[in-house]
Chains A and B, each alone.
Chain A
């Protein structure tokens, strides 16, 4: 149920993001979802790709500061209150969400939300017990 997310440290200067996407493109790696969190000086690019291990290796070779982070991807109904419903499930269990970002699944009416939480296994159990669909890594990579 765990999805491998690439986290890449990028200085805020022109061409760095372009370089990452270029490397992935040249190597036939497809980006499923991405988000950038930034400060004035640097940003962290978070990526879900179809071949995370390969992408990690390629970026590492190009001297990028990159890591593979465990996240979970949850299917959320693509309608008003969809995300709220999922968050409400987690609320009583003190699961702290470090960050999240969402993308829309092409093949269905659902949205996917990527969660980064500290207690990963616990969150997965709570969500599945409550009938929320948590996607496996392969399901996300092959979307």
Chain B
């Protein structure tokens, strides 16, 4: 545990120098980039010098698909993970033996900080496979000495049975899946008291504070936010502590910056912008100033938990799949917040964007909830109007609310798909 920021900075500078040297010597892609701006590793004197170095983007990983950015020989790589690649080729990352050890150690460290102990039974419902979530938690939990149930995603009925029978105390999965499990429990009439759950660690998709409250109420647990991305490591880049006031970044290994996504300029602490991470110690695929596209802010002030690691805000959206509708930025989390504030306990919704003539049109499909159902058309229409009014207040643009039947929006066992942008298809 770090208490002193100077100590952290010292470690960071030392490791950053080593990183830039490694990249320059071993990865032709970076050598070319650094040569192009006339930068040699010996010119790096302070942490501030970092801001003059080039960014790395997801596109760079795609352009060098699959192994072009690896900094070690294939013989040294012991595992490969990849992102889903929804818009083309996946982004591929490789881990050396040391990388895997580091990953496990950072996950164990973060989970300990979040309140997990070796006595816990962890029901790990993150997907196993190329996706980093499942194995990331798995290795971390084992390193911590906890008991892991590697259940992975899917088959919710069976998951509930196992959670009950094995006495799981910690649930790890995406927040939307946690809510799905809570719903499934209600549907099957399973009393919450039959489960021993006390903590959940949820991530891999942006979620709101309101959703946290819902999950905490329904499952009667403390819900902890975790952040990570496969390009950097997987889960374990950052995680909340018991204070739930921002996610502690493991910044002795991942140096964070916040930039203005349009200009690339570094923003001061506390300001919202795009998170950029430099991997200080990774061997397999070390990255310099990787643009995560995630929108957050950084807070270096001491945390009540005593851990001096810098904290980041929960991610409110992504700078790239943020919707721009009639020039207005719209984040799915804003819509979720509105629905929850209106009393929606199960915020299943889909954002559908269309073009009508030249105008963008925003529709929010919301599953009708039992509590708002009426046999009178006028009451349902009043309800639609009410949601529309609230959305207008929050988003600043008109959204048409469309009530849809329960269970008609596809449930996801992993990342929720909230956006259907039909503008691109036309």
Contact = CB atoms under 8 A, between A and B. Distances in A.
Q: Which of the listed residues B368, B370, B376 has the most CB atoms from chain A within 10 Å of its own CB? A: B376
B268 to A, nearest CB: 47
Contacts of B373: 9, 65, 67
B377 interface: yes
A74 to B, nearest CB: 18
Contacts of A44: 375-377, 380
A46 B408 CA distance: 21
Interface string B362-381: 00000010100101110011
A7 B405 contact: no
B385 to A, nearest CB: 12
A65 B406 contact: yes
A51 to B, nearest CB: 19
B406 A63 contact: yes
Q: Size range of the interface on B?
A: 10 to 19
Contact of A42 (B375, B380, B406, B407): B380
Contact of B405 (A39, A46, A64): A64
A105 interface: no
Interface string A7-29: 10111000010000000000000
A10 B403 contact: no
Contacts of B370: 65
Contacts of A63: 405-407
A98 interface: yes
B375 A39 contact: no
A5 interface: yes
A37 interface: yes
Contact of A65 (B376, B381, B405): B405
A38 B403 CA distance: 13
* Size band of the interface chain A makes with B: 20 to 34
A9 B405 contact: yes
A11 B375 contact: no
Given A11-B408, A65-B370, A42 B403 contact: yes
Interface in A28-43: 37-39, 41-42
B373 to A, nearest CB: 5
B377 A39 contact: yes
Contacts of B403: 9, 41-42
Interface in A61-79: 63-65, 67, 69
Nearest to A6: B375
A67 B375 contact: yes
A11 B405 contact: yes
Contacts of A7: 375
Given A9-B373, A42-B403, A116-B375, 15 more contacts: A10-B405, A11-B404, A16-B405, A38-B377, A39-B381, A42-B380, A44-B377, A44-B380, A46-B375, A65-B370, A65-B373, A65-B405, A65-B406, A67-B373, A99-B376
Contact of B368 (A5, A9, A37): A9
Contacts of A38: 377
B402 interface: yes
Nearest to B376: A98
A65 B375 contact: no
A24 B357 CA distance: 43
Interface in A82-137: 98-99, 116
Question: Which of the listed residues B373, B381, B402, B405 has the most CB atoms from chain A within 10 Å of its own CB?
Answer: B405
Interface in B383-410: 402-408
